[in-house]
Amino acid sequence: MSCSGACLLLATVLAVFINFNPASAQQPPPGYQLLTDPQTSGGLLLTKRQGMASATQLLRQGLHEVTPFFDRRPEVLGGYAETRDQYAEAGFRTTSRQLPLTGVAFSVIGRGAGTFGFAFDSPHTVAQSLPRLLQLAGGPQSGAACSPPPQRWQMVRFPDGSGQIELPESWRITGGSRGTGVSAEGPHGVIIRAAQATVMTRAAAAQIPQPPFPVADPTDPLTPFRAVGAYWSALRAQQGLPVNRVTRILHVTPVPPPAGFLHDAFLDVEVDFQGRPYRALSHVLVSAVTGGLYLYQESGGGSPAECFAEHLPTLMRILGSAQTASHVISEALQRASQSQREAHDIWWDATRNQERARDRMANNWTEAFRGTRAIEDTQTGTRRDVNFAYSADLVHRLNQQEGYERYREIPLRELNQ
């Protein structure tokens, strides 16, 4: 059971301030159950079919069968199907009694039978209700030995004491930095929350021989996602750690970014995680560019591909539970700002050094074309122009006569400083 990036973010894109009560809807279609939970809004239409071999075919059939339950046929917004066609899903939107609804439809094939589910709620509350609605299906299996949903949870403090996160008892924190970044791992997969990187545009990086940050233009959320991922993988390789590699982008779902940011998007991706195929959902934030630099932040969770459907509710609950102390967030923002200033200083110094080098070259050529160079009496401070071809010899003879380095050449580049 899963939600693609396209449907998971509809709670933001299609925000309305109502909750949907499925009891007010029509009766479920023949052969379907309407499941609800008193702790959440929305509902789940569920049915089982014998003799099914194709998850995609079952998904199409189910979308047609549930149409009478709503005002109109659900509009598919994006979908995903496994190569073996044993699991398929689609994000959708529709209406019921003129109220907007959104959610995810899924189909699972196992042991010659198929399960089709249709989880829905209002756009305003679907992000909160969807994990619970999907659990009502009873965890349909795709034939893989996936870990069962966790029963016991506990709040765990970040290693540096800067916040806390709710984890199943079999999970552990694997890393973190003072601020908002934290990573954790368990039998259901892995998560990272608010991992940050300073990124440099290509124009700014061109001014520095060895850029100290990953380089990418923030033209879209996917470009820095790839660049920062490659940068982090290189760091892991240097430390002798396993390298994770994105193998396929399934969906990119942009949403309106907050103030001060260029991009806000959800990415549904496939990953080679320590030699095993994983599927992951990542939330990416890209800030506006300042002085050739910008901030990149990523949160997300991943699980073995064959179990991602069942483990996604667990991953989303973990990510949603993370809390960071307010003063630590303030400190993190200050450090990020300071990092940007320091990086800008590096870029500015390098730019000025390159400008000086160009100026020196230009001055040298000017002297060669003009044919003169200034010499100075360091005792009196007086200067005069002499033939460029003989200036060095003249200064040498004058200093020999005086017995010390009284005279010196003044290159044009020094006169221009």
User: Measured between alpha carbons, how far apart are the two ends of the chain, in Å?
Assistant: 69
Nearest to 155 by CA among 368, 338, 375, 322: 322
d(CA 395, CA 88): 86
d(CA 24, CA 97): 9
For position 96, what pLDDT does the model report? Answer: 87
Nearest to 19 by CA among 46, 45, 38: 38
The residues with which 280 forms a beta bridge, in sequence order, are 269, 302
- What token pair was written down for 117? 């589910």
Q: What is the pLDDT of residues 8-27, one digit of tens each?
A: 333 332 232 234 455 445 68
Type of residue numbered 217: D
- Which of the residues in the chain have pLDDT under 70? 1-26, 78-80, 82-83, 111-112, 127, 138-145, 162, 177-180, 324-373, 386-390, 411-417
Q: For residue 351, give the 3-state DSSP assignment.
A: helix
For position 141, what pLDDT does the model report? Answer: 39
Any alpha helices (H) in 245-325, and if so which ranges?
A: 308-321
CA dihedral 88, 89, 90, 91 (to 10 degrees): -170
Contacts of 361 (CB under 8 A, 6+ apart): none
Q: What is the pLDDT of residues 28-69, one digit of tens each?
A: 899 999 988 888 888 899 998 888 888 888 999 999 999 999
The β-bridge relationship of strands 293-304 and 276-287 is antiparallel
For position 268, what pLDDT does the model report? Answer: 85
The residues with which 374 forms a beta bridge, in sequence order, are 385, 410
| CB burial of residue 184 (10 Å; 0-12, 13-18, 19+) | buried
The residues with which 281 forms a beta bridge, in sequence order, are 268, 301
- Going along the chain from its start, the domains and CATH numbers come out as 5-135 (3.40.1000.10), 161-342 (3.40.1000), 346-415 (no CATH)
- CA distances to 364, 365, 373, 384, 402 from 377, rounded to whole Å, are 22, 25, 14, 9, 11
Contacts of 95 (CB under 8 A, 6+ apart): 70, 71, 72, 101
- CA distances to 65, 217, 342, 355, 395 from 349, rounded to whole Å, are 66, 21, 11, 10, 35
For position 22, what pLDDT does the model report? Answer: 54
Contacts of 68 (CB under 8 A, 6+ apart): 26, 29
